[in-house]
Chains A and B, each alone.
Chain A
Amino acid sequence: MLELQNISKQFDQKVVLENIDLKINSGEIVSLLGPSGSGKTTLLNIILGLTRIDQGKVIFNNEDLSNVDMKNRGFNIVFQDYALFPHLNAYENIVYGLRNKKDTASAEEVREYIEFLELKPHLKKRIGELSGGQKQRVALARTLVTKPKLLLLDEPLSALDGVIKESIKERIKSIAKEFNLTTIIVTHDPEEALTISDKILIINQGNISQFGTPFEIINQPKNDFVKEFILRQLQIKRQNIYNLFGEKYA
C-alpha cells in the first residue's frame, strides 16, 4: 500500500503541490489526471524519489521512504518519451539492468516478459527502427525486468495513435493484474483515465480536486472543476460521436 501524507512542494516560492494526502492499495491502477502545469509530473517524480519533498511523507508498506534515495525505493518508471538507449538494440535495452543485478530476473522470467509483451520478433532491432508502440513495450519490459514494487507511467499513451493506444491500454491493465503491480499513470485525457484505472486522482493547481473510482467521478463530481473541466470534455466527445454515428444509423 502506498500512502502519501500531506505532501507539499514549492519551486522557488511557487507552490506546485499542496497537502496531497491519499492511500493507494496494492495492485490498483491509479490515474493522475489534471490540466497542463497542475503538478502531475511533479507528484510522480516525488513518488519515484527524483524530486525532494518540502513537507509530508511517502510511505510504502508501512515504511517511510521520504528520505530514501530513488535507487533504493525499488520503484521504476517509464518516461513519456521512453528514454531508451539508441545505441543498444531492443533486447540489450531490456536486459540493461541485469548487468548490475544479475539475480533480479532469471533468463526464464525475461523470456516471459518478452513473450507477454509480444516483443520476440523485434529483439534484434535498433531503437530507431521500432514504432512508437513497440518502443513503449520495450520500455515497459526494461522496467518490468527490474521487478519494481510500484510502476509509474508518465503519459504512456500520449505519443501513440488510435488503435495502438487501445491495445497498450489493455496491456497495461493486464500487466497490473498479472503481476499484481500497483501502477500510477499520468494523463491529461479524462477518457483515458476513466477507462484504464481503478481510481482517479484529479489534480487542479496543485490540490486534490477529487479522488475516487470512475463511477464516483461520473456520478458524484465533487466540485465545479470536475464538472466543468473533466465531465464536460467527455460530454462533448460523446456528442461528437453521437452526431457522427447517429446520423448514419438514424
Chain B
Amino acid sequence: MRNAKPEMRVIFIIILILFFAFLIAPLLVLFFRSFVTDDGGAGFSNYMEALSNNTLISAIGNSIKVSGATAIITTMLAFTLAYAVNFTRIYQPLKSAVKVGILIPMLIPTITYGFAIMYTFGNQGLLTKLFGRNLFEIYGFNGLLIGYVIYTLPAAFLLIHNSFKYIDKKFIIVSKLMGDRTLRSFLNTVVRPLLGALGGAFVLSFILSFTDFGIPASVGGTYDVVATQLYQAMLGSIPDFSQGAVIAVMMLFPAVAGVILLNYLERFNFHYDKFSETELTPSKFRDSFFGVTSAVVLLAMLSVFVVMFIAPFVTAFPYDLSFTWQHITGIFQSNDLVSVYRNSLIVAVLTAVLGTIITYGSALLNARTPIKGKQTVDIFSMITNTVPGMVLGLSYLLLFNDSSLKGTFIIIVLCNIMHYFTTPYLMAKNALTKMNPDWETSGELLGDNWIKTVYRVILPNSVSTVLEMFSYYFINAMVTISGVIFLVSAQTTVVASKINELQHFAKFNEIFVLSVLIFLTNLLVRAVCDALQKRAAIYKK
C-alpha cells in the first residue's frame, strides 16, 4: 500500500542489527563450535565423545524421565484447577485465590524452590518435623519433580485457563438435553475442545523442566540432568567449551521439537468469536470435590514457600524458633549482599525499559507499517521462543568472551531481552493489530509525522499493554538464573546467581532473605503496574 517512512526504516535497521548481533550470530557460533574438534578441524568427534559419555547419556535419560513425569502431573493439576475456576460454582473467593495464588511461584527464582523444598521435606524440614520422619528422599528425582511441578504449574494453568474461555458452555447443556451420560458429556464438551491446550500444557511443562537450571542446581543432588551437565562442562573444574556447545545443541533439540509440536497443537484449539455467558448447573458433589481439591493443591504449593518467610526470622530453624531480626539486619549490613540486590535491580530495570522499547518497536513495525521484510521479526520471535536461556547464555559466552562486553551489565540485559522477547512481543502485536488501522492516516492528515502519531495516539492507547510488557520483563529478569548463569562476573552478580554460590557455604538464611527481597520487589512492581493499568482503563472509558 503506502511507502515506508524513513523513521520506520531506521527503527527496522536498528532492530535487525540487534537481532543479528545478539541472537543469530551467537547461535551460529554455538552451532559451529560444536563441530570444532580438539585439533582445530571440523567434524563430529565432539558428538561422538558426548554419546560415549555415560554420565551424559544417563543425564539425558533422567531429564526425559523427570520432565515427562512433571508434564503429566502438571497438566492434570492445571486442568483440575482451571476446571474448578471455570466450570464449577465453588466459593467465589476460592476461585480468586486460585487465580492469584497460582501465579506466586512466578515471582520467585526457581533456585529458591529447591531450598524451600529442602526446608519443608528435608531432614530438618517443616513437614519432617511434623511427621517425625522423612517422608521420602528429596534430593534427586522427588525433589526435582516437586520443584518442576511448582515451576510449570502457573504457565500450564494460564494456558488451559485461557482455552476454557473458548469452550461454549451451551454445548454442555445441549449434550445434557441429548441425554449424554456424565462421562460422555464431559469428554465431548470439555476434554475434546481442550485437547490442543492440554497437549500444549504438557509440551510446555516438559520443555520448561527440561531446560531449567535453578531447580536441579539446588535439589538435584547426585541425580544428573542435562542442565547440570551443561553447567559442569562450562564452569566445572576443567571447562570444556566443545562439550558445552554439544550439550547446548542437544538441549536445543527437544526445545525445537516442542515448539513445532506446540504450533501443531494450536490447530486443535477452538476459536469462537464470542464468549457466551451461560449459567452453570448446580452440583453439590462436583463443587465440593473441586473446591476441596483446588484448595489442597493451592495450599500444598504455597506451603512449600512458607519456610522462606519463616526461616530468616527465627534464631536457628528448625531448632530454635524464637523470633529475631538478627539475620535480616546482618544481611543489610553486608555490603556484598546489598550490592548483589542492587545489581539485580539495575539489570531488571534496564531489561524492562530497553526490552519494552525494543519489543514495542518490533511489534509496531510488524503490525502497523508497510515496511518490506517486516515478517523477519516474527521469525526472530519464534527463535527466541525456542532457545532455552542456558543455551542463549552459553552462546553469548562463546561469542563475547573476548570482547569488552564480557562481564558487563549490558550483556546480561541483552541476553534477558532476547530470552524473554516472545511473550511481550506477542502482547504488543496483539494489542496493536486490534487498533483502528486508519489512525496513522488520520494523524498524518491532521499534520502529524509518523513518530508524532505513535507518541500522541498509538502509545496512549496501549498504555495497559506497555505496563504488562514492562512487568513481564522486570519480573523475569529478577528471577532468571538459567539465562545469566554463564554471563555474570564478580561485579555483576545478580541475586539468583548469588544464591547458587551461597548454597556451597550453606548460607540458607541469606538465600531466603534474598529470595524474599526478590519476591517483594516483584510483588511491588506488579502491584504498581496493576494500579496504573486500572487508572489507564478508567481514563480510557
Contacts and interface: CB of A to CB of B under 8 A. Distances in A.
A45 to B, nearest CB: 8
B540 A126 contact: yes
Given A96-B446, A97-B446, A87 B460 contact: yes
Contacts, number: 62
Given A83-B442, A87-B539, A50 B2 contact: yes
Interface in B390-440: 436, 438-439
B461 A86 contact: yes
Contact of B447 (A83, A85, A128, A146): A146
Interface string A58-80: 00000000000011000111010
B100 interface: no
A32 B447 CA distance: 27
Nearest to A154: B438
A150 B446 CA distance: 14
Contact of A101 (B436, B447, B457, B539): B447
Interface in A76-119: 76-77, 79, 81, 83, 85-87, 96-97, 99-101
A57 interface: no
Contact of A85 (B2, B3, B439, B445): B439
A142 B461 CA distance: 19
A51 interface: yes
B441 interface: yes
Given A87-B540, A128-B541, A81 B446 contact: no
Contacts of A79: 438, 441-442
Interface string A133-157: 0000000001100100000000000
Contacts of B447: 71, 97, 99-101, 146
Contacts of B336: none
Nearest to B448: A100
B444 interface: yes
B1 interface: yes
B443 to A, nearest CB: 8
Given A85-B461, A97-B446, A146-B446, A50 B539 contact: no
B438 A81 contact: yes
A70 B446 contact: no
Interface in B456-471: 456-457, 460-461
A84 B447 CA distance: 15
Nearest to B1: A51
A142 B456 CA distance: 16
Report whether over half of chain B's contact residues are helix, strand or loop; otherwise say mixed: helix
A4 B460 CA distance: 39
A71 B445 contact: yes
Nearest to A104: B447
Contact of A142 (B444, B446, B460): B446
* Residue picked from B3, B438, B457, most chain A C-beta under 10 Å: B438
B178 to A, nearest CB: 39
A70 B461 contact: no
Contacts of A146: 445-447
Contacts of B446: 96-97, 100, 142, 146
B387 to A, nearest CB: 36
A76 B438 contact: no
Contacts of A143: 445
Contacts of A50: 1-2, 441
Contacts of A83: 436, 438-439, 441-442
Contacts of B3: 52
A142 B452 CA distance: 17
A83 B3 CA distance: 21
Contacts of A96: 443, 446, 456
Nearest to A76: B445
B541 A126 contact: yes
B2 A81 contact: no
A220 B79 CA distance: 69
A76 B443 CA distance: 11
Interface in B102-119: none
Nearest to A11: B1
A77 B461 CA distance: 22
Contacts of B539: 87
Nearest to B457: A85
A70 B541 contact: no
Q: A50, A83, A86, A129 — which one has the most chain B CB atoms within 10 A of its CB?
A: A83
Contacts of B461: 85-87
Nearest to A87: B460
A96 B457 CA distance: 10
Contact of A71 (B439, B444, B457, B540): B444
Contacts of B436: 81, 83
A77 B540 contact: no
A240 B95 CA distance: 56
Interface in B27-60: none
Nearest to B439: A83
Contacts of B2: 50-52
Contact of B445 (A51, A70, A81, A87): A70
Interface string B508-537: 000000000000000000000000000000
- Kindly name the residue among A51, A97, A128, A129 whose own CB sees the greatest number of chain B CB atoms within 10 A: A97
B211 to A, nearest CB: 40
A48 B197 CA distance: 46
Nearest to A79: B438
A83 to B, nearest CB: 4
A183 B190 CA distance: 55
A243 B372 CA distance: 57
Nearest to B441: A50
A83 B460 CA distance: 15
Nearest to B452: A100
A154 to B, nearest CB: 9
A32 B285 CA distance: 64
B444 A70 contact: yes
A55 to B, nearest CB: 18
Interface in B80-98: none
Contacts of B540: 86-87, 126, 128
A32 to B, nearest CB: 18
A52 B370 CA distance: 14
A16 to B, nearest CB: 12
A100 B3 CA distance: 22
A44 to B, nearest CB: 12
Nearest to A97: B446
Contacts of A52: 2-3
A186 to B, nearest CB: 14
Nearest to B445: A76
A184 to B, nearest CB: 15
Q: Which of A79, A126, A142 has the most CB of B within 10 A?
A: A79
15 contacts: A50-B2, A50-B441, A51-B2, A52-B3, A70-B441, A71-B444, A77-B441, A77-B445, A83-B441, A85-B460, A87-B539, A87-B540, A100-B446, A100-B447, A100-B452
Given A77-B445, A97-B447, A128-B540, 6 more contacts: A81-B436, A85-B439, A87-B461, A126-B540, A126-B541, A128-B541
The 10 closest A-B pairs by CB, nearest first: A100-B447, A97-B446, A83-B438, A87-B460, A79-B438, A83-B442, A83-B436, A85-B457, A101-B447, A76-B445
